[in-house]
């Protein structure tokens, strides 16, 4: 019996020693793990990504189930722009701690850095679902990712939820304004952008968007007020130039010139101010027919062309000023140079069309107008494009191209230019093509709109 007890005591002694050894080893591993984790954190703080990766890799070797070590090593990989390794570690961190939002947010940030905003939105959405609207910044990040992924409508809800959390910044309001603008809700967009600039008066992008919306909604006083605020907040000459151009559009020519006098640009920007001054004088010449204003425009634009102003724009305005000053031949020559200068200023084609038509060169005028229409595409309003189609039809008739005239005039009529004069041009185009039935139908519709028009009556007798 004693021998049995001695044997049992020996076994217990061995087990106790083994347990102690294991405990010591475990404590040593835990201590080493924590030291490596702390070393990795310190390296991250000092920007030493290489040392951080080395320390954190050692920590992961000791504790493969450590979410913190994987998450922090991912930060180090991101610092080195080793995105694939960072995604791998963040994915593991998410698997190890499914309830944690930090890996999801980091995955969203990383996807955004790589330009994959749709995937970023997926990660942010998962994190937001777990936080139940507790984090306004996360909701904002989700909305921004959806907006950048081309889904503005899907950004509305998280933005409204972020704002409902009493987000004090104007950024969420600004982004919501962009979203509402892009989903064709301009009045709501203006209201929320007004709130954005009340919250953050120095938020320049919000004021810029608000000014653009005011202009589109034909609220020039409000637009000018925003442009004036921008010029006060930002001393760049471009701000005062934009304000002056807006004032000139509203016929406030003296105020516009006074605004430009307040600019103090560096020598490299002086030509931009001269360009703007020339544009103000030119707008006055266009509105009033004042050739003296056209000459003032020429003087300013000549100075602009000698500097760093955009050459095609400068030539376009110079050619238009020559046209308004009465020198149409020189105007056409300059405008041809303008459309041949890259990058081309689109308005040069409109000015060239006017000059060529004035010189009785319908083919050249039509080519310039067609180029303008092609370059502007859907930017121009439907009414503008309809009027342009009618003019293209008239120019085609003058050029002897009745088939093209029919095509353009039909486009104009379908777009709302269904006046007596347009139907008269269509009737003449059909008649020149020998299509008498369609010519009679068109002249009948013209006379329905203007029964006593002498020119239409003469054309009607000719067609018969």
Question: Could you tell me the domains of the chain?
Answer: 389-464 (1.25.40.10)
Question: What is the Cα–Cα distance from 118 to 149, expressed in whole angstroms?
Answer: 5
Q: What is the pLDDT of residue 285?
A: 96
Segment among 99-103, 164-168, 369-373 with least mean pLDDT = 164-168
Check whether 262 has a pLDDT greater than 90. no
Question: What is the Cα–Cα distance from 243 to 277, expressed in whole angstroms?
Answer: 12
Band of residue 203 on the pLDDT scale cut at 50, 70, 90: very high
Q: What is the pLDDT of residue 267?
A: 42
325 vs 24, residue with greater confidence: 325
Band of residue 11 on the pLDDT scale cut at 50, 70, 90: very low
For the residues of 337-376, what is the DSSP string, one character each? HHHTSSSPPTHHHHHHHHHHHHTT-HHHHHHHHHHHHHHH
Kindly calculate the radius of gyration of the chain based on its CA atoms and give it in whole angstroms: 36
Check whether 163 has a pLDDT greater than 50. yes
Check whether 131 has a pLDDT greater than 90. no
Band of residue 169 on the pLDDT scale cut at 50, 70, 90: confident
pLDDT digits (tens, 9 = 90+) for 340-352: 999 999 999 999 9
Task: Calculate the average pLDDT of the chain.
Answer: 90
Give which of 441, 445, 443 is closest to 461, Cα–Cα.
Answer: 443
In the predicted model, what is the mean pLDDT of residues 445-464? 92
């Amino acid at each position: 019996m004693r021998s049995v007890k001695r044997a049992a005591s020996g076994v217990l002694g061995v087990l106790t020693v083994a347990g102690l050894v294991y405990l010591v080893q475990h404590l040593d591993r835990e201590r080493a793990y924590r030291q490596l984790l702390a070393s990795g954190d310190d390296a991250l703080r000092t920007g030493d990504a290489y040392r951080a990766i080395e320390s954190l890799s050692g920590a992961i070797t000791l504790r493969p189930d450590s979410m913190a070590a994987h998450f922090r090593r991912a930060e180090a990989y991101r610092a080195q722009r080793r995105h694939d390794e960072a995604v791998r570690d963040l994915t593991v961190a998410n698997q190890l701690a499914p309830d944690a939002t930090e890996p999801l947010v980091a995955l969203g940030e990383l996807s955004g850095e790589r330009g994959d905003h749709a995937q970023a939105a997926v990660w942010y959405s998962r994190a937001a679902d777990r936080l139940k609207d507790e984090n306004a910044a996360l909701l904002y990040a989700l909305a921004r990712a959806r907006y950048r992924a081309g889904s503005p409508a899907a950004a509305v809800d998280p933005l409204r939820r972020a704002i409902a959390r009493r987000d004090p910044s104007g950024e969420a309001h600004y982004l919501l304004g962009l979203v509402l603008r892009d989903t064709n809700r301009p009045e709501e967009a203006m209201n929320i952008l007004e709130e954005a600039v009340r919250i953050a008066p120095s938020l320049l992008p919000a004021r810029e968007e608000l000014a653009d919306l005011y202009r589109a909604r034909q609220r020039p006083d409000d637009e000018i007020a925003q442009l004036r605020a921008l010029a006060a907040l930002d001393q760049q000459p471009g701000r005062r130039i934009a304000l002056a151009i807006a004032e000139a559009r509203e016929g406030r020519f003296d105020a516009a010139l006074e605004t430009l006098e307040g600019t103090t640009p560096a020598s490299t920007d002086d030509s931009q101010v001269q360009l703007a001054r020339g544009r103000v004088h030119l707008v006055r010449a266009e509105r009033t027919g004042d050739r003296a204003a056209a000459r003032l425009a020429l003087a300013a634009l000549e100075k602009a062309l000698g500097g760093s102003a955009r050459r095609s724009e400068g030539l376009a305005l110079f050619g238009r000023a020559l046209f308004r000053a009465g020198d149409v031949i020189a105007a056409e020559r300059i405008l041809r140079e303008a459309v041949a200068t890259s990058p081309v200023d689109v308005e040069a084609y409109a000015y060239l069309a006017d000059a060529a038509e004035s010189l009785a060169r319908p083919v050249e005028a039509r080519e310039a107008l067609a180029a303008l229409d092609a370059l502007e595409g859907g930017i121009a309003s439907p009414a503008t494009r309809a009027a342009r189609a009618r003019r293209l039809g008239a120019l085609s008739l003058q050029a002897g191209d009745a088939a093209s005239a029919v095509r353009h005039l039909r486009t104009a009529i379908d777009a709302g230019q269904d006046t007596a004069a347009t139907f008269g041009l269509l009737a003449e185009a059909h008649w020149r093509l020998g299509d008498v039935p369609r010519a009679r139908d068109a002249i009948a519709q013209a006379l329905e709109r203007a029964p006593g028009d002498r020119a239409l009556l003469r054309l009607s007798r000719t067609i018969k």
